[in-house]
Amino acid sequence: MQDSGKILEMILESQEFYEFYSEFIAPSIDDEKDKSGDMRENYLQKVRSPECRMAILGIQGSGKSSLLNALLFQDEILPVAVEETTCIPTMIRRPYDGEEVGAEVHYLDGKVEEVPLKREFLAKIVDNKYNPSNIMGAAYVLCKMESALLKEGFVFVDLPGVGSLTEQNEETTMKFLKDTNVGIFLLRTVPPITQSEAGFIRIAWPMIQDSIFVQNLWKEESDDEIKSGMKHNEGVLAAIAEERGAQMPQNILPVNVSMALRASMDDNEELWTNAGAKELRKSIRQQIRGDFVNRLHQNTAAFFTNQIVRARRRIKERLQVLQSDHEQILEKFNEEKERYNEHKSELENKVISHCQEFRDRINDLKINWLPDELNESVKRVISKIEETAVENFKEEDFRQMVREEFSNVFQVTYKELREQLSKCASDYVDSLSATLQNMASLDSLFGDELYAGKKEKKDPNAASGWSIALSGGVAPLILTGPAGWSILGGSLLAGGIVRWISGATARKRILRGLRKAINDSKNKVKEDMLNEISVFFDSIVSSIQQTVHQELKYYEKELERIENLLNEEEENQEQLVIELEEKLKNSKDFIDFFARV
């Protein structure tokens, strides 16, 4: 079978497709989608040089930045320290045409600042010591450099550590996962995967298309510790894979990151191999030839197939107009256009009404459901800890026990919240689409008049066009849920609890402060959850409104286009019909070619 990439290049580069695209597809693509230039050329460039985004994931201090220094920089360019380093994402890619090697700081307000690609400059932005809690308002840092892996199409992202000191850092990690193709999870040997790490992996793993698991080895660890840590990590991953429906990796790659960095800096191939870095680099390179590229090719084929189907519809409309009674069709068109204008006003009112119903249900969650659930969660946490002989715990063991209990209980609460929000949003989409499906569609307006041949009988159970459009805009928001709390379901805030009481050594003193500490944290949880619910509501409503606006805009553009078509007086109609029929035949060939991908 011919390579799918070669098939796509052959089609997109052909003169026949270029002419068809220029005449029938390019004029209809929304201006906002085409700001970056020729869509055909953009997709062609991606097919020729596919980019695979790889995120380095793991707990703070696991060696993520050191690993990237070894793989890409051959030096300690990304800041490495005992304290928390990466408080914002750092993206590393090859320079594009016309760009030079260097770094850019992209700020939340849209400002971009160029800085030298040197550690001392990057540290001022990405090191939490210099930029605590991201007080500088940086969104991310972009490093552009020459590297073998980067030239092959990889884009690496160094993300904040799981279990880091700030809530904002962990939220940032989850947001970047949405655009990640491959995740490299960096695990420790001592200690192996902890409860907090397991919670993060449980959520992040299914969100990523492909994953590589690396166990970092340190020179002071014994062989027994390495074997024990590997066995523990494999067991935890196997349990998570079965629970979450993820693909269990064939093996965890052991890599001595510190040794790999020394080998990279000294250009020592033997040391590089002994460190396990050669095998890791091989696994990374396999990704660009694997499922990632197949998905890119399939998405490209699907995009242009959809555009061609729309173009074929326009060609058929034009052919039918050329071969029909203009006056009769124009009269029908004007009647339906007037009916559309009447429906539009009704539509706007119903969208507002459905939005208010959605708001009422969300407010009910805030006022009634959430407080009751949080109170029950606090009771379960306190009850569990009160049953434990905490005086027999060492401080670190007690800290971990509180964190785990808090995480387990509030993760359940958060899961239930997500289910409630998803149900509300899904009902909102269903009720709104049920109203909108009565809206005249182009098929119902012009179907029998403009389309020759037998029409297919519509499936009464099939989703309406409006339902598909609305669900498509809202589904990602429903699936991912609020961004902040999806990370660990509450274990982050448990850190605040244990820090507050970690100085206590006696059971009486611990339990006396425990209730107040957990209730204080519950109030913080409630505040954060309420904020996330509001963000979720605003996102859903905004997405719905944007989808409705875009669909109506497209609808009205189609009305204008068909009206212009009906008012045209074509010369040489017979020759034009022959040419359009040939275009229709070519478009079918294009679809057949894309179907092979």
CATH assignment at residue 68: 3.40.50.300
Q: How many CB atoms lie within 10 A of CB 595?
A: 9
What does each of the 597 residues of the chain score in pLDDT, given as a tens digit?
Answer: 458 888 999 999 999 999 999 888 888 764 434 433 477 887 887 788 778 889 998 887 788 889 999 999 988 898 876 455 557 889 999 998 889 999 999 998 889 999 999 999 998 888 777 888 788 988 889 999 999 899 888 999 988 766 554 555 555 666 677 678 788 999 988 888 877 678 778 777 877 767 899 999 976 778 888 888 888 899 889 888 877 667 788 889 999 999 999 999 999 999 999 999 999 999 998 876 666 778 788 878 888 998 898 889 888 877 877 777 666 767 777 777 777 777 777 777 777 888 888 889 889 988 998 888 888 888 887 787 777 665 666 655 666 666 666 666 766 777 777 778 877 877 777 777 776 665 545 444 444 444 333 344 444 443 344 544 455 445 444 444 443 333 333 333 334 444 444 444 455 566 666 677 777 777 777 877 787 788 778 877 777 777 777 767 777 777 777 777 666 655 567 788 888 899 999 999 999 999 888
The answer as to whether 345 is a domain residue is yes
- Give 17's Cβ-side CA count (13 Å radius): 22
Distance, CA of 168 to chain centre? 18
282 and 136 in one domain?
yes
342 and 235 in one domain?
no
57 and 160 in one domain?
yes
CA distance linking residue 103 with residue 126, whole number of Å: 12
Structure tokens given for 428:
């909102």
Whether residue 232 contacts residue 269, with contact meaning beta carbons closer than 8 Å, is answered with no
- SS3 assignment, position 527: helix
Last residue of a domain, one of 256, 287, 318: 287
- SS3 assignment, position 187: strand
In angstroms, what is the C-alpha Rg of the chain? 29
372 and 267 in one domain?
no
Residue whose pair of structure tokens reads 């380093």 in the numeric block: 85
List Cβ neighbours of 328 (8 Å cut-off, separation of 6 or more): 449
Domains identified in the chain, total number: 2
**Which of 238, 244, 90 is CA-nearest to residue 161?**
90
**Which of 139, 126, 153 is CA-nearest to residue 53?**
153
Torsion of CA 415, 173, 298, 4, to 10 degrees: -140
345 and 280 in one domain?
no
**Which of 418, 422, 549 is CA-nearest to residue 487?**
418
332 and 193 in one domain?
no
Residues paired with 214 in a beta bridge: 186, 253
The answer as to whether 583 is a domain residue is no
83 and 232 in one domain?
yes
The residue range of the domain holding 88 is 51-287
Identity of the amino acid at 279 = E
The answer as to whether 192 is a domain residue is yes
- SS3 assignment, position 57: strand
477 and 421 in one domain?
yes
